[in-house]
Amino acid sequence: MSLAAAFAPYEALALQLIPHATEGDDGSHDIAHILRVFKNSMRIHAMEGGDGDVLAAAVLLHDCVAVEKNSPLRAQASRLAAEKAGVILAGMGWEKAKIEAVAHAITTHSFSANIPPETLEAKILQDADRLDAIGMVGAARCFYIAGRMASGLYDPADPLAKDRALDDKTFAIDHFEVKLFKLADGFQTETGRALAGERHERLKQIRNMFLDEI
């Protein structure tokens, strides 16, 4: 099976957009991440509705600009991706209204950007992307990024940060409290919230197992 076929029923669109979908070498924002977000979004879309073409394009291009987690431009990443997506879709002959809908979804999907999504497609993309940040995959991505940023796994003197400030730039396990445990409360759709509840519980179990082993 071709990679584009994995994006059925939008394989034709995927064939056009996969070459633009990612840049750089960040394994937490690679084409596998894009495909997981696509599957999450289609699961939510099936229950919530929305424009499938807009949603599929937004998913495929939401990380088309790579900005490292520790970059001062991180909060601008989704805006830059939205601008690039607009150029790509215009070159494919997409109508202005649909391009704007894709751009809005991409701009608002980011936790760092902190811009509320206003359309159903934007809400679905945000939920689908955040589902990939919690649960087993979310924990794996957290530790992957920590290694990429040369962070430690935990503070051996105070792993739970009882007598120090949380510092997820230095210790990977701190990121659970700083961000990951907060994500489940911010989901936009009913379907997304249900899926997030399941993954949030998994995330807590993963941290508990980690703490037990250290």
pLDDT for residue 158: 97
| Contact between residue 168 and residue 174 where contact means Cβ atoms under 8 Å apart | yes
CB proximity list for 88: less than 8 A, separation 6 or greater: 17, 20, 61, 64
pLDDT for residue 207: 96
Average pLDDT on 109-132 reads: 93
pLDDT for residue 73: 62
The two counts, helices (H) then strands (E), for the chain are 9, 0
Mean pLDDT check: name the lowest of 66-80, 105-119, 168-182, 187-201.
Answer: 66-80
- For residue range 28-40, list pLDDT tens digits in order: 899 999 999 999 9
**pTM of the predicted protein model:** 0.93
Average pLDDT on 201-214 reads: 97
Percent of the chain whose predicted confidence (pLDDT) is above 90: 86
Instruction: Say if residue 188's pLDDT is above 90.
Output: yes
Distances (CA, A) of 81 to 91, 129, 179, 180: 15, 15, 22, 23
Average pLDDT on 96-124 reads: 93
Average pLDDT on 7-31 reads: 93
Domains and CATH numbers, the chain: 1-120 (1.10.3210.50), 133-214 (1.20.58.1910)
- For residue 146, count other CB atoms closer than 10 A to its CB: 22
| Contact between residue 122 and residue 109 where contact means Cβ atoms under 8 Å apart | yes
Provide the sign of the torsion angle of the four alpha carbons 139, 144, 149, 152, taken in this order. positive
Average pLDDT on 138-161 reads: 96
- For residue range 46-104, list pLDDT tens digits in order: 999 999 999 999 999 999 998 776 666 667 888 999 999 999 999 999 999 999 999 99
- For residue range 161-184, list pLDDT tens digits in order: 999 999 999 999 999 999 999 999
Give the tokens for residue 111.
Answer: 């936790």
Mean pLDDT check: name the lowest of 4-13, 111-120, 164-173.
Answer: 111-120
* Most confident of the ranges 43-47, 67-71, 109-113: 43-47
The 3-state DSSP class for residue 152 equals strand
pLDDT for residue 71: 64
